Amino acid sequence: HPYIYKITFATANESSALVIRPFSEKGTLKDLIYKAKPKDPFLKKYCNPKKIQGLELQQIKTYGRQILEVLKYLHEKGFPYGHLHSANVMLDGDTCKLLDLENSLLGLPSFYRSYFSQFRKIN
């Protein structure tokens, strides 16, 4: 799918997994929002709330549509994706591409599990 970030190499055994993707100079959607450089340390990138900027309306429309299209595609294929957040959306030019699709295959809990597990009526 054009909105899924490619994997260069992947391997797994009984106790671990390794996935390698190409480095992106633009970084993730989170990097764009925080005006951060991908190679900077985490605390320098994301712990200064004064650097946070919003997105242009056209960016929101474009990125939102791309994300919804790939989520629809995954849903139609019966593939669960519970790890959607700005750090798992890679920017490739003016295109968003999802990362970490392998998390559900590896049995990792959803990013939002702690939020919706508190609701007993949700199955």
Position 50 scores a pLDDT of: 76
The confidence score (pLDDT) of residue 123 equals: 56
Task: Give pLDDT, residue 39.
Answer: 92
Alpha helices in 1-123, H assignment, sequence order? 29-33, 42-46, 57-76, 102-105, 113-116
pLDDT digit string, tens, across residues 55-85: 999 999 999 999 999 999 999 999 888 889 9
User: Which pTM value belongs to this model?
Assistant: 0.82
CB 91 within 8 A of CB 32: yes
The residue extents of the domains of the chain are 9-117
